[in-house]
């Protein structure tokens, strides 16, 4: 049986990055893992993921949830370290 952890491991992102996509899109983790895998294979897909994480950060600050915003900033840094093409303009 394949688990959610297996799906996340196969999608190309870590759990926190998948959770950020799930939060942004309001979808379950399993769907977010599938979306992540799809986007990572598309032109400009990493930039779309970057933008989702940035949107999540803005939303956390808008809700005065600084703790979550800081967590998401860490997620963004990790994502950009592993996908530097997402930071290119």
Whole-angstrom distance, CA of residue 48 vs CA of residue 25: 12
Whole-angstrom distance, CA of residue 89 vs CA of residue 22: 25
Task: Count up the domains in the chain and report the number.
Answer: 1
Mean of the per-residue pLDDT values of the chain: 94
Is residue 81 exposed (0-12), middle (13-18) or buried (19+ Cβ within 10 Å)?
exposed
pLDDT per position as a tens digit, 21-35: 999 999 999 999 999
Look up residue 38 and give its two tokens. 């799809």
Residue 89 has pLDDT above 80, yes or no: no
pLDDT per position as a tens digit, 69-83: 999 999 999 999 999
pLDDT of residue 1: 83
Q: Which domain holds residue 82?
A: 4-87
């Amino acid at each position: 049986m394949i688990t959610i952890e297996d799906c996340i491991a196969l999608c190309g992102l870590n759990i926190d990055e998948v959770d950020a996509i799930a939060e942004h899109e309001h979808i379950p983790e399993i769907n977010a893992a599938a979306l992540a895998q799809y986007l990572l294979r598309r032109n400009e897909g990493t930039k779309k993921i970057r933008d989702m994480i940035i949107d999540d950060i803005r939303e956390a600050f808008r809700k005065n949830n600084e703790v979550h915003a800081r967590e998401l900033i860490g997620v963004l840094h990790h994502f950009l370290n592993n996908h530097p093409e997402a930071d290119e303009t």
